[in-house]
Amino acid sequence: MSGFVENSDLGFVAQLNTFREKIGGYAATLGLLPAEVVAVNADADYMAFVVLGATSSKEYVQAWTSRKDRARKGTDPAMGPYPAPVDVTTPPADVVPGIETRFRALVARIKANPNYTNDIGKDLGIVDEQPSPEVTSPELSIKLVGTDPVLSFKKGATDGIRLYSKRGSEASFSFLATDTQSPYVDNRPNVVLGTPEKREYHAFYFKNDAVVGVQGPTISITV
């Protein structure tokens, strides 16, 4: 974090989504105008759109590179479908550049309000909380950004997490990924395309390539 603001783009998107989901309930207490709440929603929508667009663009390039490699030296019996380009047919309305600058300025006003409390800050996701080094199991939080589950965590004094997942009708958890920086985006397609499925996750901390502590709590979401 840079102060209370998440450093990574995906982390910032998740933070804006938390803030915009909660801020309406505190607007009157903190002296915010309805137009300011609307502006927060517009910024959150636009930031999510451009960040996911940038991520999808990288995946699009990678898919074309993979297709080129298969075309030249592959042994698969078929090339498969062409990569899907980034969908920009229904973008959100443009916003003025400087979303993070506006967010910081708004949060500064909120924290200067006499009705502001640390509990409000925690609920809005604008308090810089560093986990204690003695934490032994990672606690994940999850939300959907677009159609992808985004999992956030705090690694404390460890190197990161090893994430395990179970989805749909799968009978047991399997290793999903190692992540050294929160958040993690699970962009896998559903087991049965077009059919909602339940995804469950838990994680372990690791340090110097070895698991430390114990398994964290299991969380779930429907995709």
The 3-state secondary structure of 123-174 reads: HHCCCCCCCCCCCCCCCCEEEEECCEEEEECCCCCCCEEEEEEEECCCCCCE
The pLDDT assigned to 2 comes to 57
Q: Which residues contact 202 (CB under 8 A, 6 or more apart)?
A: 140, 163, 164, 173, 215, 216, 217, 218, 219
Q: How far is CA 67 from CA 26, 41, 53, 75, 77, in A?
A: 50, 38, 21, 12, 13
The pLDDT assigned to 64 comes to 92
Tell the residue number behind the tokens 């340090």, with chain if given. Answer: 207
CB 1 within 8 A of CB 130: no
pLDDT truncated to tens, each residue of the chain (223 aa)? 457 898 889 899 999 999 999 999 999 999 999 999 999 999 999 999 999 898 888 888 988 998 898 889 888 788 888 988 888 888 999 999 999 999 999 999 999 999 999 999 999 999 876 554 555 789 999 998 888 899 999 888 888 999 999 998 888 899 999 999 999 999 988 888 888 999 999 999 988 888 888 899 999 999 8
N-term to C-term CA, the chain: 28
Token pair belonging to 29: 């207490």
The pLDDT assigned to 56 comes to 86
CA distance 167 to 223: 10
CA distance 187 to 92: 21
Nearest to 186 by CA among 206, 204, 166: 166
